[in-house]
Structure 1
Amino acid sequence: MLDVGPSSNVDDEAHLTTFLDRLAGAGPDEPTAAAQKQIRTSIEAGSPPAGLRRLAEALAASAADGPPPPRRPTDDLPSVVAAVGENNLVVLDEFGPEAVAAAVTALLVDGRRVVVTAADRAELIALRDVLPAEVYDRCLDVLPPLSPAEQRELRRLLATATPGRRARSGQQLPAQEAVPEIQQVGELCRRARRARGGNSAPDLIPGLLAGLEPERRTAVTQVARCVDRSLEALRPRENRSWAWALLSDLIYSRHRATFERLLEDTAQATAAADRSRNSPPITVVGPLPAEAGELLRRYLGFLQSGGRARSYFRSGVQRDVQPVLSQLRIGGAIPETAEQIQLTVEHVDLAERLTRIDAGCREVGIPAPRNADELAELADGLTGISAAARSVGALRHDVLFIHPNSPIAVPDLATAEQIATAIIDYAEHGSVAEAEQRLDRLAAELAGQVPAQMTAPEHEWAVNAVRERDAAAYTAAVEALLAARREVQDQERCTALLDRLRARTPRLADAWAAASETGSGGFGLAWFVEVDRLLQDLPAADSADVVMVLGAAELGVDRLLLTAVAPRLVAVVGSGARPPAGGPTLLTVLQRAAALVIRGRTPAQDTTGRVVRLPSGAAAGGPRAVGVAGNRGPVEQAGA
């Protein structure tokens, strides 16, 4: 018996190579040596054949656990297809040519790629002669001219093909970059569908701007953008309603002088308040005369020019300011130095400005500040109002003289805001007429991407949506184009692979194409090849799903190298065949590896010679019985 004990680690490449050498050593002929060399190369490359590894694992497990227990017929699977799906090693015992043909047919219908091999070519010819006509086109003398990966891809494409996708043959789609963006078309459609011919000032703007020279139009647009920015600085409008009311008055030149004084006073007062934050506190202990500020500034100039503060023989300036100084305290003391007098001057000036600010706010109808924070907010708001008033004034002037016979006037703030928005909108998107022209141009360019006779329905849908200014329909069409693009690519790839397959195996290509159109599936194939030729040149990995060995009873252990052809091996033992005496054989090794045995009854000869095929089992996926004429019994499954 082949020595594969429980200590063998078949996951280790060295042990798997040893197992390979033991198999090959049982029959040192030229085909065996060629197969051994190819398999060794695969193992060293890190890709050992799955079938060989599974055989080694099964033998190692049997050596560890002892002989496998006998199977009872009720324990086994009821069909060959199901058996192959659940077991890597299967033996078909007492199977005649018709029964084997039924098993091959079931595997092909199930979509399996089967390599049928035998030592004697006559066995292969005899099997092919009894195969049904519906699978004959899938029987090959050579492998398809596609790599295993390409075969998988083609089978997937054929299995997922739909009538709609097959109708894509010959269709072309525009390049992705040639399809206008959804956002661009949506904006143009929105603009093109706007009402035309209004008489309001914003409606007249596009027509006037269209007739301007580019430099003049750019200048007007800059003024409109300035208005938009300055008004944006005053928003939200609800929080600064006083600012918008004052701005409306300024547009009509009301409160202009008062506003200018108020603007200057708030700016100066804010700066003075900021400087005094870190200064010593100044206290007024009594009423100050009306000219207090002037007297303090004269005394400050006296000190800064070299004059001295004296207790006796005081100068006139000092005597005049003394009543003012007596009412002021800095840090609890009367100010004396030039620095202290400077602080008192700023304090008195700030008080005077705040008085004027309060009066100015009442005059223009806005709330007066109650503290330093409100003063800073007022100064900021007045600065924004001033900027907005200047920009709106410039806009009113530009729009008034935009054309010698300009019909547009800017009577109020609301109109100025609307006109500025209309100018910016035109600068960014153009007019309704321009939008329609751009959409027509986009539709023509999109339609011209593909010849008319090759245009896909989704492409035509997108073109019509642009022409009809329907943004929603265009969005749906572009999304449909994405799906259509995938279908066209899949169909082109499927056609290309089928053409390559047809160049060498035309009948197989036609059979697969027909199965795809009818939805019957079963994209299987059967390659009939002699054992020696198969071992001489093993197919690439994943070229087959099942290797079926005819006449397995007469083969030696070395023919187990056929497990390198596919992950699953089915050994067929004909009626009355018996293994040679002495030494291990392919069948005895499979028995040791607990291969599933399906035993068929040998029927009596029928003079009619009518072949009854294995019926397809709905649950098991394959034939459930083998029979010839009316006296053939069901498949029996026996233990290994």
Structure 2
Amino acid sequence: MLDQAPAPGADVHATAARLLGFLRDLAGARREPARDLGAYEQVCWLAELPAEVYLETDAGPGEVLFSIPVIPLSPPTVLEEFDGWIGLRHWYRTLRDLAGAEVVLATGLLTWQPPDGEGVHDHLLTTPVRIVVDERTERVDVVLAGHTSLRDRDLLGGLGGFRPARTDWVWDAVRAGQGFALRASVSDVLRKWCSIAFTEFGAAFREDWTPAQASPGVPQLRLAPALVVRPPGRAALADHYEDLLAQLARMHDVPGGLGRLIEPERSARLMQVAERSPQTIADLLAGLLARGRRVLVTTPEAERILAALPGDVAGLCALTEESSVVDRMRARAFEHDPAGHRRYVEELAERKNAADREVSELDARLALTEATDACDLGPGYRGTRAELTRRLRSESHPWLTPRTGMPADPPLTASEVAELVALIDEETPGRRARTWQRDVDPGSLPSAPYVRSLIEAEAAEVERAARSQTDLSRRLRDLDVALLARLEAAARAVDAALHDLGLDGHPSEWDPTDHAARAFSDALAGRRPTIWARVAEMAPQAEWAEHALASLGGRRVQLPPGELHLRRLASAAQDLRNHLSEGGTLKRGPLRSVAQRQAEPLLTGARVDGRPPTTPELLDAVFSVLMVRMSLQELEYVWEAAGMPFEDGPLDQRVAAFRRAHLRLARIREVLPAIEESAGHLAGLGIPITHPLQWHGYVVGLQSALSELSVNRASADLNALRDSISTDHKGQPPELLSALVAIDSRDADGYARSLTALLEARHERGLQMRCEALLDRVRAVHPELAEALIGGTVPEHWDEAWAWAHASVRLAELPGSPAEDRLREALTEAEERQAEVSAELSTAEAWEACLSRSEAPAWIAPLWHVPELLPAVPDSFDVVIVDGEHGAGAEALFLLWLAPRVILVGEGGPELPHPEGTIDLIADVLDGAVTPTAPLFETLRARFAPGERPAPERAASVAVAAEPEPQLVAPQLVAPQRAAPEQGDPPPALTIERGRSIVAYKRPQLVELIGRIDAGEPGLSDEQLVERAGEILGCPDDETLLVSARLHYAVETFREPSEPSEPFEASEPSEASGTA
């Protein structure tokens, strides 16, 4: 790794452990864990997602959980689709507003009110998500963006009955990938957690998606997934520091960053870039990648930084997982041609040098041109002052007066001028007044077909209510709406049961022998409730009889003729069957057993498939038939008590009849509470319901009363729709007021005409706004011309006239007329070419330097997501770029575990408030530099010597120049070799021009300069060589850091021209380097 710290002694190791312990306590005290969802900004329950949204429950890291496309503003014309449209619009707006916020997918809602502590109502599992809005389609995607975390220690820490140690293996399972997002393993993890988390009692788990509201005395856990908007979180940070302490106890060396924090005299100076911008960070990142460095960027704007990276450098950066980055690197490495790529890089380097020289030359020529007496008044007007004066006087455009301050380019194009003249010519007082009226989009109003459907629905309900109105319906209509809703629900349940039983016609058409009809009639009248309850209790016997007959498998069983004592014969059959099963046999005469003598009537009179029942299997069949007959006797008895006898017949038909009767009775019994509830409510109103005919009349009256209420609802829908059209603002277009009048008068055609007129009014407003916008552009640079155009002036030869007027003004203003525009344009184009070739070179160098890696060369993530996203491997990165302080204090020093260097971007924040929690070790750490209230930037600056703060435009080059340039190698895991001059071409001749930029000198030239200085003044130290060479070159002052970095590397190359370096070895860092 970069600049590995020397092996620390025992003091350094102990100080590091004390520091990590303090940071752990600080992280735990910084956030007081919230245990109730009410503490969070917003909670969106997935159980409330519209049915049209498909959830990808098997989605993995980096995949889309669900998406919602753009929902049109106009509601659907079909009334049944209105609720779905409202739901989709609500979810789309909510998710779009959450883009960029810190959102997690939370599962496992724990609800508990412990007897001696604060109530808990929060989720156990959280998975970070990103809300992404597609720029082209505006579709909103919910993307799973990290690993799942278990939060039981945060929620239950300190509460009685919870033992964190018991759930350690559940933590290990979650870290291994179980319980991720909405996968099936989530339920398994939560169920296992419930079984072991508490010592004195268990927790109940249900896979319900709906949340529980009350806090019971016993913990309850539901799946209840939701999107939760959390404040920038540090929930897992204290546990992360616990892991770091455990690792440190097993390590001999302290990670490089922590070692240099503890012993700052060994570290380099700290680099900080004042200006925060995605381009600055992108330049830093690209330059470091080109030098083979592994970089971590902590930023809340990952997408903007990726967009600012040159070329396809973004392909080397991971956001949530690195497998795709590694796959791209392997594919590129497989096709890599080292020699060809080396030539390509050298060609790009030559092109960049040529671009640098071109920019320098044009800059010099521009400066020279500005000092000459040449006169350049703009395109077409170049020459001497006398020539241009004569020419401008000969040309004349009377309608355009030259005005001081006119821009070189006209405010409008020729086509826009023609458009403006036409708009002014067609302007009317009515159109002019449109700009004072509010802009109303007809698409934002309810569509004409939708309003028509509401008006027609209201008319249909009025007609239906008037046609079916009765005295009973009028009495029911006056009831409380809640009571009427309960009566409707009960009536709907009863009618559904009658429909299932075939009793949905008029009661006079029912079969009087129908058992269900008799049961329904008795239920209405309240007759024989005990007997019917007894009948219902006999349903298992009918079911058993059916199964018993089916178990005979088609055997024909014939019982002895005559009156039979069924119970005695069944007992005899069972005893004989047991006798034979135990090894007994049938005998004759006095040797017969007691069981055989008792079963003699069956042996002589019963037959199974024509054979006497002499085996256990045949006796089983006889026993089953006897038991079935006994059951039928009991069933006949209870049904006769209910007044519904059954006809005699074959055994299987009688069993089927009883079974069918009990099934139909069960359907009636299901709605018995609804019948009793309806009868009870109606009896209190003096409406008797004791007969099916009365029930039928009641249902008809209830439907009529509900139809009258539907009229009220339809009218309420129209009134609500009218109220949704805002008229509070001033300047309402008259067409909008006409639309409101049409709704009030229930005029669907009038509303449609108003929408059409409103569309035309909006078009007129757009024309007038366009006219005034064009006039404003003219008025901003030439007010007199704008008034002339309003007065009817028609401009001719617009572009030529504007160039003539601008040249006239320039000629009058310029005492001397330098021809510099051409050079400025050429300089701009040259700078663009310079930027393009620089981007290509950075991309090529970055990919070449990173091909040998087996992991992603760069990670970009929010600061507080780093502990969850990345393993805590010491010095696994070379550099950390901290984009903004993120409101962080010393608890963010875990970054020094991951990398030895830190680059700060942006200014530090104010002092932090003292943590609300309790810190056991609150004493200052490291001579007072690390305190609970010190911001992160201040903490680092206090421990490291501040380096020069480069300007934003030079920050990237300074950071990159501070790193030595490793030799490009083929994509094998080998140590990069130090670059040596090519044998084919001699090194360029050394020519020193004081004041020349350092970028104009190639590396061999700088090495040669160092060699000449050392030959002339032997014995100089490295720093003296750098200082002497800097004096000789005399480069611009704003390149001090860049000059120092390149000369240090030239000295190193001169000292060890042929010694190969270790992989990723770095030179002594300069002031621009990070905390290496």
Q: TM-score, normalised by structure 1?
A: 0.46
Which structure: larger Rg?
1
Q: With the length of structure 2 as denominator, give the TM-score of the two structures.
A: 0.30
